[in-house]
């Protein structure tokens, strides 16, 4: 038989499951509307996930907290997480604008690691949002973290994550320096790809002008 605290955790996790479904639907609707209006979908691919109980327990332990429902609510804001990967840098900020205009999401915090990368070189745009879930007793809002990045940023972040996990404590300075050096290359690649996209769009507009009405 479950204890009172275990029941509270189970109920809370169920609410996060509802939030996961809500944010997935909301993003899908917003993107469909944007694509209809602009004839272009800025997203290459996206993924919505919910942390496992084990991951939640481990994160709380690293922060020095017990595994309780109240500690989950207070100290973990990414139980539900969304990763959206775009082709170009401008697409990232288009997505931020789309999500910011949603009447169903409340923006709690913005972290622009593109304009201000972490010291490792990590680049991405993070939004901490409150997602409404509709229960019999009324509406509740659950935390969700949305990460928006380019394909190049996602490639670098995946490698950074794998390399960092090979070191349980402090990452050697040589490794840190190389990670940062390569992150600069990723930034340059994003800039070059954006430049290429601008050139392609220029020719596309010129071809449209040449087509007789």
> What CATH number is associated with residue 189?
3.30.460.10
Query: pLDDT class for 96, splitting at 50, 70, 90?
Result: very high
For 2, residues 6+ apart whose C-beta sits below 8 A from its C-beta are 10
207 domain residue, yes or no:
no
Whether the CB-CB separation of 169 and 60 falls below 8 Å is answered with no
209 domain residue, yes or no:
no
178 domain residue, yes or no:
yes
What is the sign, positive or negative, of the torsion defined by CA atoms of 5, 7, 10, 16?
A: negative
Helix (H, G, I), strand (E, B) or coil at 1: coil
Strands in the chain per DSSP E: 43-50, 80-86, 106-112, 125-135, 138-150
Pick the more confident residue, 126 or 159.
Answer: 126
211 domain residue, yes or no:
no
86 domain residue, yes or no:
yes
Q: Which residues lie across from 46 on neighbouring strands?
A: 84
62 domain residue, yes or no:
yes
pLDDT of residue 166: 65
Q: What is the pTM of this model?
A: 0.86
Q: Which domain holds residue 54?
A: 4-202
CA dist 210 to 64, 172, 203, Å?
Answer: 65, 58, 11
In angstroms, how far is the first alpha carbon of the chain from the final one? 74
pLDDT at residue 168 tops 70: no
Domain count, the chain: 1
Beta strands 80-86 and 106-112 are: unpaired
Whether the CB-CB separation of 149 and 186 falls below 8 Å is answered with no
109 domain residue, yes or no:
yes
Distance CA 66, CA 58 (A): 10
Query: pLDDT class for 165, splitting at 50, 70, 90?
Result: low
Mean pLDDT of 19-26: 97
213 domain residue, yes or no:
no
């Amino acid at each position: 038989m479950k204890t009172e605290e275990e029941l509270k955790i189970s109920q809370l996790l169920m609410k996060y499951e509802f939030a996961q479904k809500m944010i997935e639907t909301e993003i899908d609707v917003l993107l469909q509307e944007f694509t209809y209006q602009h004839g272009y979908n800025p997203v290459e691919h996206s993924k919505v996930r919910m942390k496992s109980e084990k991951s939640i327990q481990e994160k709380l332990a690293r922060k020095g907290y017990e595994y309780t429902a109240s500690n989950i609510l207070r100290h973990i804001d990414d139980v539900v997480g969304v990763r959206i990967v775009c082709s170009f840098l401008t697409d990232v900020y288009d997505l931020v604008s789309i999500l910011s205009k949603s009447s169903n999401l409340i923006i709690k915090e913005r972290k622009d690691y593109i304009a201000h990368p972490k010291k490792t070189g990590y680049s991405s745009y993070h939004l901490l949002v409150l997602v409404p879930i509709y229960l019999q007793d009324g509406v509740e809002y659950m935390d969700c973290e949305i990460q928006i990045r380019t394909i190049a940023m996602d490639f670098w972040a995946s490698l950074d994550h794998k390399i960092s996990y090979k070191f349980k404590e402090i990452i050697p300075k040589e490794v840190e320096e190389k990670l940062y050096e390569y992150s600069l290359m990723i930034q340059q690649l994003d800039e070059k790809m954006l430049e290429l996209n601008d050139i392609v769009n220029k020719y596309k507009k010129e071809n449209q002008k040449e087509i007789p009405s």
